[in-house]
Structure 1
Amino acid sequence: MVIKHLRKWLVSGLLSFSAVTAVQAQTFVFTAIPDEDETKLVERFRGVADYLSEQLDVDVRYIPVKSYAAAVSAFRNNQVQLAWFGGLSGVQARRLVPGSEAIAQGVEDEAFVTYFIANTSTEIEPADSLADLEDNLRGKTFTFGSKGSTSGRLMPEFHLRDTFGEAPESVFSRVGFSGNHTRTLRLVEAGTYEVGALNFQVWEKELADGNIDTDAVQIIWKTPAYPDYQWTIRGDVNERFGEGFKDKVTKALLELGDPALLESFPRSGFIPASNDDYEPIRKTAENIGILD
């Protein structure tokens, strides 16, 4: 009888040990929309992975993706459990994964803006409203960023449609999608496209780093503010990584204070976010037909 109980205890203990080991051995994986050059993103998010691994006491890995759609797909398929999304891609991802939540955003993401920029050869002067630029913009070539970008496509397209009463393809002689904000800047700077729209943070960071030829390109209009980037986490992480894990991730992100890491985003810090914060983005996307 004693041997039987001992055997049962040993088996039970081994199973428990195996379960704990399996949980500890799991890797928490995250990704981010490829809104800038890949080398910059890899450097930034490897730093975030190291920070989260230390704070969460689990193995944390960042995996790069090639497109906004790929980031959403990876989240939907549980290849990643956390993602740094833009406003639109976050809305798309949370629609596909019930129970997922926006948990943190940059301080600057509460009131984000898009810059419309133009090659100086167009001689378009900056204006206070898009309507003031209507005659100067019509017939020009124009590039958005990624098709899934909030600041590089959704919001600029919304304002163009609202102002012109037409689709961008009817306003401009040629419309393109550069793929990311840095590329939009370079294409307009080079004159490949005459006008473009990009994330204001990318412009400001590149300007501060001395990477913009201001004789070749300038800002001609700034959109009204809207909510944008956020960290979104899957709703099933507690089941996979243990009770309270989502709260630990949230706390770690909100307490991220490394100046170099924050500067790489660039953000001054992170603050709490919720799904409700992005209702304006969802409604805008539905309004122009990007979301069904």
Structure 2
Amino acid sequence: MTNFVSCFSAPRRSMIAALGLLAFAGLAKAQQVLRVSAIPDEAPTELQRKFKPLGALLEKKLGMKVEFVPVTDYAASVEGLINKKLDMVWFGGFTFVQAKIRSKDQVIPLVQREEDEKFKSVFITADKNITKLEDLKGKTFSFGSESSTSGHLMPRSYLLAARINPDTDMKRIAFSGAHDATVAAVSGGKVDAGALNFSVWEKLLAQGKVDTKQVHVFYTTPGYYDYNWSVRADMPADMRKKITDTFLNLDPANPQDKEVLSLQGATRFIPTKADNYKAIEAAAHNAGLLK
């Protein structure tokens, strides 16, 4: 049987082939999805709630579908990005450093919240006899995730600076997996004290989810660089610019933008760079968390 396309002249066949390629390209573009995730430092439902308005805004600005892809743990967020299963991830400073090293510098941080220039961790307890870091010797203690900057790395660094080795000077240490879980562990009496990031602590206070007559902050760390939105270096430059501009142009005077900023815990977003996280990398080496 004669092939339908072969009935046409060579120029006509070329035109049909070109149109077919254009149709295929259009279909591929229509199916293109920006896969976004975040380190699971809070409950999955909370992460989804916080991302929904941002995802809708990115879809509008990029002209493509934006999908939030939850991950099981911090390591999965790193592996997902460098193995091209994710396109953009909300990293903590430490997970960004891990992704940067694992990818051999093929991960680019685009923006951070203004608050992330001087981020802090808080140490909390329900024990009135614990008033300083040194009082934690012989106590039970909870960090967040092992790969958390504000829930493990930096609290551990400041404990070591106070000459307290969590592994040998404390009765027992645990990893709750998330900041809100650390608060629950301290409130529930499962541990004597714990550390988490100040942003989640303040949010839980504002939501009335912490009884400050029971649990209180007894130490706040100095500031350090923390979270950022990162992408792979192979993302097209024009897409990186559109994403960056979307964040930088968020205007609190605009109700839609204000909602995004509020849910992201940001006054505004600012550009960032890999060099901002050199101190985090050094702290991770010093704490023995990077080999």
Same fold, TM-score > 0.5, yes or no: yes
Match of 1:115 in 2: 122
User: Could you tell me how far apart the structure 2 residues matched to 1:183 and 1:5 are?
Assistant: 67
SS of 1:71's partner is helix
* Structure 1 unaligned regions, length at least 5: 128-132
Residue 262 of structure 2 aligns with an amino acid whose one-letter code is E
Match of 2:230 in 1: 232
**Residues 8-87 of structure 1 aligned to structure 2 (within 5 Å):** 8-87=14-93
**Residues 72-151 of structure 1 aligned to structure 2 (within 5 Å):** 72-97=78-103, 98-119=105-126, 121-125=127-131, 133-134=133-134, 136-151=135-150
SS of 1:213's partner is coil
Match of 2:247 in 1: 253
User: Could you tell me how far apart the structure 1 residues matched to 2:75 and 2:249 are?
Assistant: 29
Contact kept in structure 1, 2:53 and 2:259, CA below 8 Å: no
User: Could you tell me how far apart the structure 1 residues matched to 2:11 and 2:121 are?
Assistant: 68
Percent same amino acid at aligned positions? 37
How far does residue 31 in structure 1 lie from its aligned partner after superposition? Answer: 0.3
Quick check: 83-92 or 249-258, which moved more? 249-258
Contact kept in structure 2, 1:190 and 1:216, CA below 8 Å: no
CA RMSD of aligned residues (A): 1.7
User: Could you tell me how far apart the structure 2 residues matched to 1:171 and 1:215 are?
Assistant: 28
Match of 1:130 in 2: none
How far does residue 261 in structure 1 lie from its aligned partner after superposition? Answer: 2.3
Contact kept in structure 1, 2:123 and 2:218, CA below 8 Å: yes
User: Could you tell me how far apart the structure 1 residues matched to 2:10 and 2:264 are?
Assistant: 59
Residues 68-109 of structure 1: per-residue CA shift (max 9 Å, x gap): 111111112111010001000011112222422000001100
User: Could you tell me how far apart the structure 2 residues matched to 1:230 and 1:11 are?
Assistant: 44
Matching residue within 194, 200, 203 for 1:202: 200
Match of 2:187 in 1: 189
User: Could you tell me how far apart the structure 2 residues matched to 1:197 and 1:281 are?
Assistant: 17
Residues 181-205 of structure 1: per-residue CA shift (max 9 Å, x gap): 0011111122211111000001111
User: Could you tell me how far apart the structure 2 residues matched to 1:115 and 1:256 are?
Assistant: 29
How far does residue 12 in structure 1 lie from its aligned partner after superposition? Answer: 1.7
How far does residue 210 in structure 1 lie from its aligned partner after superposition? Answer: 1.4
Structure-2-length-normalised TM-score = 0.91
Residues 5-28 of structure 1: per-residue CA shift (max 9 Å, x gap): 122122123213322331332111
Residue 111 of structure 1 aligns with an amino acid whose one-letter code is K
Residues 217-250 of structure 1: per-residue CA shift (max 9 Å, x gap): 1110111110000000111121xxxx51111111
User: Could you tell me how far apart the structure 1 residues matched to 2:268 and 2:46 are?
Assistant: 19
Structure-1-length-normalised TM-score = 0.91
* Structure 2 unaligned regions, length at least 5: 1-7, 252-256
User: Could you tell me how far apart the structure 2 residues matched to 1:117 and 1:265 are?
Assistant: 23
Greater than 6 Å deviation, 4+ residue runs: none
Match of 1:272 in 2: 271
How far does residue 46 in structure 1 lie from its aligned partner after superposition? Answer: 2.4
User: Could you tell me how far apart the structure 2 residues matched to 1:50 and 1:265 are?
Assistant: 14
Match of 1:217 in 2: 215
- Given the superposition, is the C-alpha separation of residues 168 and 113 from structure 1 closer, same or farther in structure 2, using an over 3 Å criterion? same
SS of 2:30's partner is helix
User: Could you tell me how far apart the structure 1 residues matched to 2:110 and 2:24 are?
Assistant: 31
